[in-house]
């Protein structure tokens, strides 16, 4: 995959491909307000955590594939959690 970590990190921040998800199973929180009830795993945790969900295009302009990188993959590449990047964005 020809995506550098720096580029990916920049993309993440620029486009805000971070969602609030269930800390247990990573499902996106579709609920209203700040409370979470996860239909996926039944988690009633009061707060969500920031998770990555990034679409990455790999290949030539006319011949490419789109991959979705989920939280675990992004963390493996960037070595920072979505939550840490979110905090940095807030502090900047």
| List of residues contacting Zn ion (CB under 5 A) | 22, 24-25, 27, 38, 40-41, 43
| Shortest Å, Cβ 78 to Zn ion | 23
Nearer to Zn ion, 29 or 56 (CB): 29
Q: Which 3 state secondary structure label does DSSP give 34?
A: coil
Handedness of CA 74, 76, 81, 85 (dihedral sign): negative
With beta carbons less than 8 A apart as the criterion, state whether 44 and 37 touch: yes
The residues, ordered by sequence, that sit 6+ positions from 37 with a Cβ below 8 Å of its Cβ are 31, 43, 44
Shortest distance, CB of residue 39 to Zn ion, whole angstroms? 8
CB of 14 to Zn ion, least distance (A): 28
Considering the complex, state which of residue 22 and residue 82 has its C-beta at the smaller distance from Zn ion.
Answer: 22
| Smaller CB separation from Zn ion, 5 or 41 | 41
Element (H, E) at 83: helix 82-91
């Amino acid at each position: 995959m020809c995506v550098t970590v720096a580029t990916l990190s920049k993309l993440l921040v620029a486009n805000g491909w971070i969602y609030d998800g269930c800390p247990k199973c990573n499902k996106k929180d579709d609920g209203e307000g700040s409370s979470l009830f996860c239909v996926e795993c039944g988690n009633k945790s009061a707060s969500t955590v920031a998770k990555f969900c990034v679409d990455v295009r790999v290949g030539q302009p006319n011949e490419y594939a789109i991959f979705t990188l989920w939280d675990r993959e992004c963390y493996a590449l960037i070595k920072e959690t979505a939550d840490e990047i979110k905090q940095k964005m807030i502090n900047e």
